[in-house]
Amino acid sequence: MDGLTYYAALAVIAIFIFQMTRTHNNFLAFIALLVGVYIVYSHETGYTATDFRHDMVNTIDENAVDFSKSDERDGSSAPIK
């Protein structure tokens, strides 16, 4: 987010949180607060949820490859009893 978009998004979330606490919807206010924290975190660090997902998928893929290499079967495995 560049320029005023970042600050506008934070202002909208702050207004939403204020309104939700006035109407006693504390759960929705908490969720909105978490969204605001995520926006600030991703803006400051540059590390987004998409980056996290790609890291997790790559880690799982590497572990699956390592597991398949460590499996010593010759391809003609008998059924497990």
The whole-number pLDDT of residue 74 equals: 53
Whole-angstrom distance, CA of residue 47 vs CA of residue 70: 33
pLDDT band at 18, cuts 50/70/90? Answer: very high
Predicted confidence band at 67 (pLDDT cuts at 50, 70, 90)?
Answer: confident
pLDDT band at 80 (very low <50, low <70, confident <90, very high): low
The predicted structure's pLDDT at residue 57: 93
pLDDT of residue 72: 58
Cα–Cα distance for residue pair 30/36, rounded to 1 Å: 10
Domain boundaries, the chain: 4-70
Reply yes or no on whether the pLDDT at 63 is more than 70: yes
